Each structure stands twice: as structure tokens, then as C-alpha cells.
Structure 1
Amino acid sequence: MIRRLALPAALALGLAAGLPALAQAPAADPAVPAAGSGAAPSNVAPEAPGTVAAPASGAASPDAPAAPSAAPGAAPAAPATGDGAATGPAAASGAGTAVPGASDGATANAPGPGAAAPPTAGSADHPVAPNSPERQAPVPEVGAGRGAPGSPGTNNAQQPQAAPIVPSGTPAAPNPYGPGQTPVAPQPERPPQPTTLGNQPLRQPFTDRGQADAAEQELRAALRGDRIQGRISIPDGKAASLVQPEGRDWRYFRNVILPWVGGVAVVGMFALLALFLLVRGRIRPEHGMSGRKMGRFNAIERANHWMVAASFVVLALSGLNLTFGGWVIRPVIGPEAFTALSEAGKTAHNFLGLPFTVGVLVMFVLWVRDNIPNKLDWDWIKKGGGFIGRGHPAAKRFNFGQKMVFWITVLGGGLVAVSGYFLIFPFYALDIQGQQWAYIAHATLSVLMIAAMLAHIYIGSVGMEGAVEAMSQGVVDYNWAREHHSLWVEEELAKAHAVVGPPPGAPPGARIAGAD
């Protein structure tokens, strides 16, 4: 029982003995030790968080006895400054004065007896700069391995060295780069890249670095009316064309102009021929058929004609399908059958261009001498070719209407063939703009030729009696020939008379029976 009461009583007596000492101690900043406490110099870094500050000199510590009084003859300690900051070490009461609260027995490096204390901040010898912020002295570190640098028991390897504190009154150096600017390291200049390799231009690497946005580039090019070029890695540079203004014009021709031109030409010709058949009817010889036949075309001429005609019919139908098939045929037979039909038509269109071209060239060689325009053609035009009124104008082997068909076939068919080969083998001789012009020429001439050949087919079959036999059998009726080609008949009879001739001893002007 006595032991239990002894410990609280001892603690109470110790606390009562320490209260008077605390009451007699001068008031000081808790973070600044009083003079003679062995404070560290002002260049020591502030105390790390959690470090216990050393108590002021003369204060009682529950863990250590009070420090002995100052030695006789020692200089008085410097009082704390009015701003609560100490600028130098205070004079200790004697050499080797123990630091209060030090558990390791380390002593502060204080000057010996008789040493004068340096002037404190705010004194006459060390004035404080006006309007400067308050600076308080750091609290010395205590404990093992702590303290001022160079003091016993200090581990300088683990002690970070703080940068010296620059007085706040010193003006900062001006920024040579301007207010708010930070220095930037200079970038070295890149050497110029070569653009040629010998005499050939050097192809740039395939990259999008430094290129404008595709949408922005397209918008600017569209506003300027220019084409948009890309960058490719294949040898064909024409493939780099992405968008071109001429393509819009070609698309408008393909989707709008060509259907209107083709529709008016083809459908209009059908309408005119039907109207002519209703008004004029089928043209027959005025004196009827005689029953006597004359040779009109030989086997080579007829074979070449039918080769050109058959090729042209397939080419015309497959070409019209490309323009009008999606509107006329597809809704009737369905998309699958229309696709198969269009694929077969495209293949036939490409391959039949060759026999058509050959046939046109042979036709030119065979008939060009008989299709040279002359003054008889003007008489044929003035009389309407015998289609209006009665009678037929005189003509040789081919009249003006047949000459027109010949030159349309030779010239128009030749241009259609050449433009078609440019389309079958693209970019061998033309660029993209040339390809578009080739398509326009090919399509326009084709529909006009189709309209002209419709009139030719009508006259050679339904429109005129006895005309189809010229190409089917190679002969025509004698009366038909005298009405439409009277001069040609006379030429053929003269050739026959020259070959047969009158017998020897016949009177002058005698003729062979049947030669008329």
C-alpha cells in the first residue's frame, strides 16, 4: 500500500519543484533557444518534422537536470531579438557547456570564457532591411548523429547541405529572355535533303508528316477548282489523283447529258421512221418488178458488210445497256439476271471491237472510189432522194443517202473504235482527263451512229421493196436498179456490151439480144 502511494507522491513533489523555475524563466519564442543554449549557426537547415525543439536556457526539463549557472566573469548572453530571430551563436557560460535536453551528452561548440557575443539582428551593427520578411533561426538538431556540421557525433554523410539563404532585400537579376519567358535550348539546323539521285528525281519517303488534313486540303482545292493529289508508293503516278474537278463534269455528262442525248437520238429516230412509214408507206418500183436480176455486190463485199453489221448490233445493244439498262431492263428481269447480262455484254463489247474495226477498214478499201461526192449529189438533195413526190434522181452505184451512210460508218466508226481502245487499255496514251474526253467522244458518236444506222436498216429492209436482196443475195431487180441507180445500170450494160460484143459481120449499131 505504501509502495503504491510513493510513486504518485514523488511525481507531485517533482512537479511542484519545477513550477517556480518555469515561472521565473523569460518568455521566448518556442522555436528559438535563448542565449547560451548552444544554438546552431544560422546556415543550418530547419528542423525536420517531428524533431523536439531544445528548451530555453534555465528551463526545467523533466528528463534532464537543470544546466549549471554561468561561470564568473563570463560575458552576458545576447538577448533574443525583437523579431524572434537569432543571427549568430550566443556566448555560452563556459567552454563545453552541456546542451539542455541532450541525451547523448554532446556539447555545443560555444566560445570559451570572456568571448564577446556577436551583434544580433536589429542592432546598430546589424540592421534589418526595411520591409523584409521575418526570418527565424532554425532549431538545432539533437540526438545521436545530429547537430551542427563538424560537431562531435554528427553524421555529415547523412546531413543534407542547405543552400545559403539570400537576404530578401537583394533584388533579383533581370531575366534576359523577357518577363515570364524560360530559356530554350537552340535546335541544330538540319542539313538540306537531296532531291535528285544523279539525273533522276529522288522519290520522297511515304509519310504524312507535315501534310495538311485531308478534309482541309479537299476544301481548299475545291474552292480553287484544283484537283487533290495524294502520295503513293507504286510507279504509276496517275493513281495519286484523289479528287479532280473534271470528274464532276464527266459524271454530270454520264448521268444526265448522255441519257438525254442518247434518248432523243434513238427514240426520236424510231418515232420519225414510224411516222414516215405511216405517211409514205413502203416504197415500191413504179413499174413493178421485171423478174430480171443484176449483180449488185460480190461475196467479199457482202461478207464484210455482214461482219460489220453483226458486230455493230452487238456493240450497240451492249452499249445502250450500260446507259439505259439500269432504268429499262433491270426492273423487268431483276438485279441478278441484269448483272449476268451486263457482264456478258461487257465482254462481248470489248472483244467485238476488233472485227468491227477490221470490217470498217476493208469497207473503206472496197467502196471508197464509189463514194466520192460529186455534182449529182446536189440534184439528189434538191429532189429529196425520191422519197418525196414521184420520180427518182439519177445516180451512179451509190446515191447521196448511201454515201452519207458510208462516211458515217467509216469516219464515225473509226473514231468510235479508236476511243474505245483508249478505254479498254486506259492510261497507256492518255491521262485521266484524256480518258474522260475519250469516253465522251465514244459515247456521243456511238448514239449518233446508232440513230443513223436505224435509218439505214429501215430503208434496206422494211422501207423499200427489193433493197434487202442486194445484201442477202447480191442481186437486185432490173426495174429497181433503173429507178434508183440509172447511171450505174448504163455503166454495167456498157461493160457487158464490151465483153460480149456483136458477132463479126453484123451491121453497125447492132445489139445482142437481151443486152438491153
Structure 2
Amino acid sequence: MLLKSLRSLFALLVLPLVLTLGLGMSSTAIAADDQTSQQMANAKTSDADLWRAVKAGDSGFTTAQGVEANVLINVAGNQGKDIKNNYLTPAMALAVLGVFVAFVIFYFVNGPSKLHGGFSGKMVLRWSKADLWIHWVLAISCLTLILTGISIMTGKHIIQPYVGEGVWAALINASKFIHDYVGPIFIGAWILCVVKWMPLQTFKMYDLKWFLVVGGYINFGPFKGKHPDSGFANAGEKMWFWTLTVFGLFISISGIMLVLPGLDLPREASMLALLVHAASAIIIIAFTIVHIWMATVLSEGGMECMVSGYCDETWAVQHHNLWFDEIKENGTLEYKD
């Protein structure tokens, strides 16, 4: 009986202890599971916050050196890329094709501006040898930059899909190489052009009439045969000169910013330079096409000026009468022997 009583007493003492330990271990396990779940939730929230900050362009910490080394994703860079791809690249294609097609249509409808009195055969000095050199170095370098720039900007859309990867890689690499090394030649010729020709490019009141009658190039309607007064440079040439001066400055500065890695510019500055460079190029391309059409196809006898430096006397009287009168009066009129 005593032994049976002792067993009962032991059971009564041990059973609550076991129950207590069991409940305690269960509580600990549940608490541990809750803590792990909370840590996982916090980790997910932390990761989400991290990548949200990265995508927003927030700065972090890195051992890398240099400008913006602590920024993984630059928001301005992505936005600039979207502007370039969605707006500037199509605008460049439109500038090339649109302006060219417009002038082709105009030529077939209107025809060239003929010399009313025919060629006189007497050639008047208009440009010096130095002027010719400046013009052609500027023209060739500008056209080279235009062609390579078009390849760089739009080639991915109009060339790459139709050629092999090897051909495309070689083409884009060559375009980039030529573009970078022809750039300084263009800048040098552009500086000489601006400095030497600026005194001849001031706008006068009579230039307004030139615009009103489209320079006398219209061969039909009330504008036919209307040749407005013009000095050494007509209003259209002056507009082309000042466009080249202003946007040539923009394109030169932005180009230098893009090709000199030693400047170590912030991404925002580099992207702004790229957008300014592309926008300026689009404007220069459009005006260059107009200039070439006007000088070669639409103006009979106009191309000779930049080949030999001389123009036919009839051409001078018809297109630049005030300049011709001036050189006759001051004794600087010089004919070709």
C-alpha cells in the first residue's frame, strides 16, 4: 500500500512538471516561428524598399570611386534615353527624308530659278581662295558628321535589321570612330567661317522683302520674276549662317563633353549634352539640305561660285544686285581674265 501511495504521489508531482515543460516548449516554438515569419516579412519589405530606392535613383554606398559611383540607376539617364529614342531619332529621320522629299516635289513643280538674261560669259570675283578652302573643309566635314551621325542615331532601326551582326558592328564602330575624329576639323573650320564671314551676315530691312517673295525662286503666280534686293549675302544665306553659328556652337560644346572621358561629368550633364547634340544636329541637317538644294539645283549658276570663286555677272545682278552695285562704285569689281 505504501508503495502504491508513493507511485501516486510521484505521478501527481511529475505530471504537472511535464505538462509545464511541454507547454513552454510549444510556446517557445510558436514564438520562434512568429519571429522567423516577422524577419522574413521585414526582409521582403527591406528588399522592396531597397529596389524602390534604386529605381528612384537614390544614392547608396559603394567602394567604387568616381562621379555618381553610389548611384546604381540614374533616373535622368533613363528619361533622356526615352526622349532620344521616342522623339529625337524620329525627328532626325523626318529632317532627312521630309525636307529632301519636300524639295524634290518643289523642284518638279517649280523648276530652277533661271537667269533671265542668260549667262553673260563675264565672271565676277566673289570668293577668295581662302574662302573656298574654309567652305569646302567645313562642308566636307559637316557632311561626314551628318552621315556618320545618322548611322549612329537611326542605324539601329533602318540598317541593323537588314545586315548581318558582323557588318552592323563594323559599320557602327567605323561611324563612331570617324565621327569623333572629324569633329575637331569641323570645329576648326566652323570657327574660321564665323570669324571671317560674320561681318557680311548682318540683317537689313530689305531682307524682309526677300522672305516675302521667297527670294525670287518662285516661277509661278504673283511671285514669278520677283527678284528682291540683296547684298553680298541674301536673307536665306544669312539665316543659314546664323543657324550654323548658334547650333554649331551648341553641337561643338556638347560634342566635346561627350568625347572627353577625362571630364568625368555627372550622368545628368552627359545626357543633357547628348540631347543638345542630337537636337542641334537635326536642325543643322535640315538647313544643310535646304542650303545644298538652293545652291546647286534651284539657282542656275550658283554652284560655280564655290567651285572657282567667280560668279556670272548676270547671276550677280539678279541675285545680289546691291553687292554688285557696291563693288562697281568702290572700284573693287574684278573680272576673271
Q: TM-score, normalised by structure 1?
A: 0.55
Indicate if the aligned counterparts of 1:229 and 1:243 stay in contact, CA closer than 8 A: no
The equivalent residue for 1:408 is 243
**Structure 1: unaligned runs, 5 residues or longer:** 1-26, 30-81, 86-132, 137-164, 169-179, 182-209, 501-513
- Residue 378 (structure 1) shift: 1.3
Hey, what's the Cα distance between the residues in 1 that align with 2:146 and 2:85? 18
The equivalent residue for 2:254 is 419
Indicate if the aligned counterparts of 1:427 and 1:435 stay in contact, CA closer than 8 A: no
The equivalent residue for 2:275 is 440
**Aligned runs of 1:88-127 on 2, under 5 Å?**
none
Indicate if the aligned counterparts of 1:422 and 1:429 stay in contact, CA closer than 8 A: no
Larger radius of gyration: 1
Q: Is the aligned partner of 1:348 residue 2:186?
A: no
> What secondary structure does 1:239 align onto?
coil
- Residue 244 (structure 1) shift: 2.8
Q: Is the aligned partner of 1:134 residue 2:9?
A: yes
Q: Is the aligned partner of 1:374 residue 2:209?
A: no
Hey, what's the Cα distance between the residues in 1 that align with 2:244 and 2:189? 10
Counterpart pick for 2:95 among 257, 265, 269: 265
Change (3 A) 1:230 1:426: farther
The equivalent residue for 2:51 is 218
Indicate if the aligned counterparts of 2:200 and 2:233 stay in contact, CA closer than 8 A: yes
Indicate if the aligned counterparts of 1:282 and 1:463 stay in contact, CA closer than 8 A: yes
The percentage of aligned residue pairs carrying the same residue is 26
- Residue 368 (structure 1) shift: 0.6
Hey, what's the Cα distance between the residues in 2 that align with 1:214 and 1:471? 66
Q: Is the aligned partner of 1:320 residue 2:145?
A: no
Change (3 A) 1:219 1:460: same
Counterpart pick for 1:359 among 174, 189, 207: 189
**Aligned runs of 1:72-83 on 2, under 5 Å?**
83=5
Hey, what's the Cα distance between the residues in 2 that align with 1:84 and 1:331? 95
Q: TM-score, normalised by structure 2?
A: 0.82
The equivalent residue for 2:318 is 483
- Residue 326 (structure 1) shift: 2.0
Indicate if the aligned counterparts of 1:258 and 1:443 stay in contact, CA closer than 8 A: yes
- Residue 382 (structure 1) shift: 2.1
Hey, what's the Cα distance between the residues in 1 that align with 2:305 and 2:47? 65
Q: Which moved more, 1:401-410 or 1:239-248?
A: 239-248
> What secondary structure does 1:294 align onto?
strand
- Residue 465 (structure 1) shift: 1.3
Counterpart pick for 2:129 among 290, 299, 303: 299
The equivalent residue for 2:107 is 277
Indicate if the aligned counterparts of 1:469 and 1:475 stay in contact, CA closer than 8 A: yes
Change (3 A) 1:215 1:323: farther
> What secondary structure does 2:9 align onto?
coil
Equivalent position amino acid for 1:402 in 2: E
Hey, what's the Cα distance between the residues in 1 that align with 2:242 and 2:318? 24
- Residue 243 (structure 1) shift: 1.4
The equivalent residue for 2:225 is 390
Hey, what's the Cα distance between the residues in 1 that align with 2:192 and 2:79? 37
Equivalent position amino acid for 2:238 in 1: K
Change (3 A) 1:322 1:478: same
- Residue 410 (structure 1) shift: 1.3
**Higher RCO (CA-CA < 8 Å; seq separation 6+):** 2
> What secondary structure does 2:331 align onto?
helix
Hey, what's the Cα distance between the residues in 1 that align with 2:168 and 2:227? 47
Hey, what's the Cα distance between the residues in 1 that align with 2:213 and 2:115? 17
- Residue 228 (structure 1) shift: 3.6
Counting matched residue pairs gives 303
**Structure 2: unaligned runs, 5 residues or longer:** 17-26, 29-42, 219-223
Indicate if the aligned counterparts of 2:64 and 2:70 stay in contact, CA closer than 8 A: no
Could you give the per-residue CA deviations for residues 416-466 of structure 1, whole angstroms, max 9, x where no partner exists? 111111111247274111111111111011012101100101111122111
- Residue 483 (structure 1) shift: 0.4
**Aligned runs of 1:134-283 on 2, under 5 Å?**
134=9, 215-220=48-53, 222=55, 226-283=56-113
> What secondary structure does 2:64 align onto?
coil
Greater share of residues in helix: 2
- Residue 391 (structure 1) shift: 2.7
The equivalent residue for 1:473 is 308
- Residue 219 (structure 1) shift: 2.4
**Aligned runs of 1:22-33 on 2, under 5 Å?**
29=3
Equivalent position amino acid for 2:166 in 1: E
Query: Superposition RMSD on alpha carbons, in Å?
Result: 2.8
